[in-house]
Amino acid sequence: MRIDIITVLPELIRSPFEASILKRAIEANLVEVHFHNLRDYTTNKHKSIDDTQFGGGAGMVMMIEPIDKCISKLKQEREYDEVIYMTPDGETLKQGLANHLSLKKNLIILCGHYKGVDQRVRDQFITKEISIGDYVLSGGELGAAVLCDAIIRLIPGVLGNETSALTDSFQDNLLAPPIYTKPRDYKGWKVPELLFGGNTPEIEKWREEQAYKHTKARRPDLLDE
Ligand code: ADE
């Protein structure tokens, strides 16, 4: 998979890709992530990428030209499955969408800033608009980092244990059950006895029950989906 991230603040989004699982995924060539600074695609001498709104109103709007230049250049080089725009009014990111995108080959992610982009960018270039939740961030970069993390960890080979992504919370619309490790007894706080017996079907049944109970208590809405 290849992900091209278009941003005015590459320094804001780089670090998550320079540590831990994402870094290893890149080093193992399981994913390529490229950052494109929109200012490199400006033609005016101040390298400005935004301007005031037609019709008046507070806040700057990102102009179409540098975005067009950047996206068009990338599209000349390869075909993209999706051109994604990070925005609070997009489709809310859920596990199902991350699963779906993890199967794609080439993705562009455009990070918005200020008030957002000229509507013609959305009309002409964007194939998917994604929000990471019902709150407003100061730019799309942190949202793009969240989206990339959710996608990249699902690519086969990225997580050590191939099955572990399948047992995450939200796969099957259930939250994950409780987990324990050594010691069996810490200050009298004990691990449930049944986990030591080696009775796999019984343990699986217990985990399913716990996941269901946990979901019912915390996120009953997931059980209706
Ligand atoms: N940009 C600003 N707020 C955002 C959000 N909630 N999700 C994605 N991109 C954003």
CA distances from 84 to 90, 122, 140, 217, 220 (A): 10, 9, 11, 34, 30
The answer, yes or no, to whether residue 210 has pLDDT greater than 70, is: yes
pLDDT tens digits, 33-67: 999 999 999 999 999 999 999 999 999 999 999 99
Domain boundaries, the chain: 2-152, 169-224
Closest ligand 1 atom to 134 CA: 6
**Distance in angstroms (rounded) separating the CA atoms of residues 171 and 16:** 24
Q: Does the beta carbon of 111 lie inside 6 Å of ligand 1?
A: no
Report the CATH architecture of 2-152.
3-Layer(aba) Sandwich (3.40)
pLDDT at 171: 79
Mean pLDDT of 14-28: 95
Q: For residue 42, report the distance from its CA to the centre of ligand 1, in Å.
A: 24
CA distance 62 to 70: 13
C-beta of 140 in contact with ligand 1 (< 6 A) = yes
In the prediction, which pLDDT does 130 show? 98
Q: Residue 162: is its pLDDT beyond 60?
A: no
Angstrom distance (rounded) from CA 21 to CA 30: 11
pLDDT band with cut points at 50, 70 and 90 for residue 175: very high
For residue 199, give both structure tokens: 């009775």
For 8, half-sphere exposure in the C-beta direction (CA atoms, 13 angstrom radius) is: 19
CA separation for the pair 86, 109 (Å, rounded): 7
**Domain range 169-224, its CATH number among 3.30.1780.10, 1.10.10.10, 1.10.1270.20, 3.10.50.40:** 1.10.1270.20
Nearest CA to ligand 1 atom 6: 88
Residue identifier of the C-alpha nearest atom 7 of ligand 1: 131
